[in-house]
Amino acid sequence: MLVLTSERLRLRWFESSDAPYVLEQLLEPSWIKNIRDPGVHDLAAAQSWMEEKLFAGYWASGLGLWAVERASDGQVLGMCGLLQRDYLPAPDIGYAFLPRFWGQGYAREAAAACLAYAQEVLAQQRLFASTALDNAPSQKVLQSIGFRHQEDVALDGNAGLSRLFIWEDGSEACRPDIHSEGNGDAQIQALLQRFSSAFNNGQGRVPQVSALPFWMLGRAAISLGDADASGCLSLREFMRQRAELLGPGGRWTEVEQRVNSLRLERHGQIAHAWLSVQMSGRDAGQAFERESLQSIQLLRQGKAWKIAALACTGGR
């Protein structure tokens, strides 16, 4: 599943067929020295590592390390992405590239793209990153995209000290954070606006289907106007359907979706929103425009509001 693009790169979810690259990366002395030895020595072990360390996180939170491939030829160069670690209060950026692709600016380009994605798509106002104390090239990459050294600290799972970096959004006061405490209505409205625009793919925009687990509960119930009335879609089914329709080569193109009106009721940790959403685009080349009515239930989990149920009528 495609996550984002930059001038020379595409970042996407890893697939089982990427196991040979993953095995090569995990066996690299630079990975073992700067991160850790995962004890992976064959393709079967690499596949198991991917299942545990990559695939599970994609579906649980929309976060993880993503395959970085060169747009010109599809060559996998490395991995880069956003992770939510138990010991940090906000996501952090992680990356690793095969040595033969070092020195060409790929790490900086991928990390900068992930930073923009965290800020613009996920509404994050703070990010972390960590390196080994003596990994000067990685530290230079982080500082070049706006991170600053915070402290040297012992992090869970890492032997010895790590150098911890932080990035903070200078425009914080202008952008409501959907994961911060405070005005609950503003948080929910910001979340719903981002959710609605996630399906836009006009003007070369990458639809943000891969981010849906960041905003929705994994057990969310989804009922669409064109779904079988006998049941609901799971989040995975919904994501796969939308990725196929909206992604590269999909039937739906030039899609733009906007919220016309929104009514919200909130009671403690539970909220219910009713939206009128206008959607336009092309289906297999044929122009369409229609309005849908959406009923969305939300739950607050910790500091974050999550979509728990979605029902649509009159739309797609």
Whether 179 is covered by a domain: the verdict is no
Domain boundary among 128, 145, 174: 174
- Asked if 283 and 168 sit in the same domain, the reply is no
- Asked if 129 and 102 sit in the same domain, the reply is yes
**Cβ-contact 128, 83 below 8 angstroms:** no
Question: CA 17 from chain center: how many Å?
Answer: 21
- Asked if 191 and 265 sit in the same domain, the reply is yes
The pLDDT of residue 303 = 84
Whether 198 is covered by a domain: the verdict is yes
For residue 136, what are the contacts with CB-CB under 8 A and spacing of at least 6?
Answer: none
163 closest CA partner among 130, 134, 138, 140: 130
Domain span including residue 150 = 2-174
Type of residue found at 173: A
- Asked if 142 and 57 sit in the same domain, the reply is yes
The pLDDT of residue 170 = 79
Domain boundary among 139, 155, 174: 174
- Asked if 255 and 273 sit in the same domain, the reply is yes
- Asked if 55 and 112 sit in the same domain, the reply is yes
- Asked if 156 and 61 sit in the same domain, the reply is yes
How does DSSP classify residue 315?
-
- Asked if 139 and 195 sit in the same domain, the reply is no
- Asked if 20 and 121 sit in the same domain, the reply is yes
Q: What is the CATH number of the domain that holds 16?
A: 3.40.630.30
The pLDDT of residue 178 = 46
Full-prediction pTM beyond 0.85? yes
Whether 150 is covered by a domain: the verdict is yes
Q: What is the CATH number of the domain that holds 257?
A: 3.10.450.50
pLDDT digit string (tens) for the chain, length 316 residues: 999 999 999 999 999 999 999 999 999 999 999 888 999 999 999 999 999 999 999 999 999 999 999 999 999 999 999 999 989 999 999 999 999 999 999 999 999 999 999 999 999 999 999 999 999 999 999 999 999 999 999 987 677 899 999 999 976 444 444 444 456 899 999 999 999 999 999 998 999 999 999 999 999 999 987 545 456 899 999 999 999 999 999 999 999 999 999 999 999 999 999 999 999 999 999 999 999 999 999 999 988 899 999 999 865 5
The pLDDT of residue 231 = 64
Structural domain count of the chain: 2
For residue 67, what are the contacts with CB-CB under 8 A and spacing of at least 6?
Answer: 11, 12, 13, 14, 15, 18, 21, 76, 79
- Asked if 163 and 192 sit in the same domain, the reply is no
- Asked if 19 and 109 sit in the same domain, the reply is yes
Domain boundary among 147, 174, 201: 174
- Asked if 63 and 159 sit in the same domain, the reply is yes
Token pair belonging to 259:
């919220």
